[in-house]
Amino acid sequence: MRFVQADAEALEAAVHEAAAVLRAGGLVAFPTETVYGLGAHALDPAAVERIYRAKGRPAYNPLIVHVATVDAARALSSAWPAAADRLAERFWPGPLTLVVPKADFIPDSVSAGLGTVGIRVPAHPVAHALLAAAGIPVAAPSANRSAHVSPTTAEHVRRSLGDRVDLVLDAGPTPVGIESTVLSLAGPVPTVLRPGSIPVDALREVLGEVRVGGGEAGGDAARPSPGMLDRHYAPAAEVRLFDPEARDAALAKASWAAGEHRRIGVIAFAPADAPATQVVEMPADARAYAARLYAALHELDAAGCEVVWIEQVPDTPAWAGVRDRLRRAATAG
């Protein structure tokens, strides 16, 4: 694994090197505004297969294809909906993935064998520069082992994937912190398959009717979107969610467990009186919380915590993406 600083002074040289790796069929971890992605040439089946092997990702979990422009996105679809143009004008570049009918030349491994593909134009300047320099569509799930906590720094990538990656572009922490909102335009009604930082109300302002949920599948059935596994975004530690109204009881249990010589972590909105535990205090703003969440989970993993108690977040549209990540992280596997 080679780390390359992608700061302002070294950006051109860094993206030129990374683009050459991608065009040659290699794997490049790079920052987007959401999380670090593990990129490969989306039209090269052998390169795409390297993503699945590096992550230990099941073949039924599709990949998102990243491109630099709306025109490049249109070229990947066999039937580009008019709604996609309206959404692109409002939200691209940005943390919105659109699921549309795919062009025949996109490998089935990218789409988990389905007739649709997720496409995004990321807003991060390093991601945009890399895509422009490479001149190819780049398939890129999060740069971590499958179902584990996504990386928001280059160091998180190193800890999770090691030398399975050819090159890492290091541009510091990602600002959004959770994965993109995924919206399917493949059916009669636009449907949010994965919540993210763009709330459903903002999508409805553009499209009118938008459904939430749907497309859930079990076993080895192909998922229409990434982020739909029951167990996902999970640290090595067991995750337990607690209601704010039961905060005192939850912290008492955490302290008792710590007293039994177990390493315990707590993620809460306010300072927590939980002796012998490691506590991470979180911001009350949904966007700031999302930007901090994965880093907090990585910190507690690095501290060797066996159990992490997390205070549940509000059940409002602004928090939907975070609630989804916490629910899947806490699902028993």
Looking at residue 215, what is its pLDDT?
Answer: 61
Do 202 and 293 lie in one domain? The reply is no
pLDDT tens digits, one per residue of 114-157? 999 999 999 999 999 999 999 999 999 999 999 899 999 999 99
Cβ(262)–Cβ(155) below 8 Å: no
Residue 290 lies in a domain: yes
Looking at residue 231, what is its pLDDT?
Answer: 77
Do 73 and 125 lie in one domain? The reply is yes
CB-count exposure of residue 174 (10 Å: 0-12, 13-18, 19+): buried
Do 287 and 180 lie in one domain? The reply is no
Looking at residue 128, what is its pLDDT?
Answer: 96
Strand order in the sheet with 191-194: 2-5, 167-170, 28-31, 36-41, 138-139, 64-66, 116-120, 96-101, 181-184, 191-194, 211-212
Do 17 and 161 lie in one domain? The reply is yes
Cβ(229)–Cβ(324) below 8 Å: no
CATH number at residue 91: 3.90.870.10
How does strand 211-212 pair with strand 307-311?
unpaired
Tokens of 273: 């009186």
Residue 217 lies in a domain: no
DSSP 3-state percent helix, strand, coil across the chain (nearest 5): 35, 20, 45
Nearest-angstrom CA–CA distance, 119 and 130: 16
Nearest-angstrom CA–CA distance, 29 and 287: 24
Q: Under DSSP, is residue 190 helix (H, G, I), strand (E, B) or coil? A: coil
Residue 232 lies in a domain: no
Tokens of 141: 């799930």
Residue 231 lies in a domain: no
Looking at residue 96, what is its pLDDT?
Answer: 98
Cβ(310)–Cβ(270) below 8 Å: no
Do 28 and 151 lie in one domain? The reply is yes
Please say which residue of 194, 212, 230 terminates a domain: 212
Looking at residue 167, what is its pLDDT?
Answer: 97
Residues of the chain with pLDDT under 70: 214-218, 275-276, 331-333
Do 196 and 258 lie in one domain? The reply is no
Please tell me the pTM assigned to this model: 0.94
Looking at residue 333, what is its pLDDT?
Answer: 39
Residue 86 lies in a domain: yes
Please say which residue of 172, 196, 212 terminates a domain: 212
Do 199 and 243 lie in one domain? The reply is no
Do 134 and 281 lie in one domain? The reply is no
Residue 133 lies in a domain: yes
Looking at residue 53, what is its pLDDT?
Answer: 97
Do 68 and 206 lie in one domain? The reply is yes
Residue 323 lies in a domain: yes
Looking at residue 272, what is its pLDDT?
Answer: 76
315: containing domain: 238-330
Residue 200 lies in a domain: yes
How many domains does one find in the chain? 2
Do 166 and 257 lie in one domain? The reply is no
Do 184 and 274 lie in one domain? The reply is no
Do 206 and 266 lie in one domain? The reply is no
* Amino acid at position 73, single letter: A
Looking at residue 111, what is its pLDDT?
Answer: 97
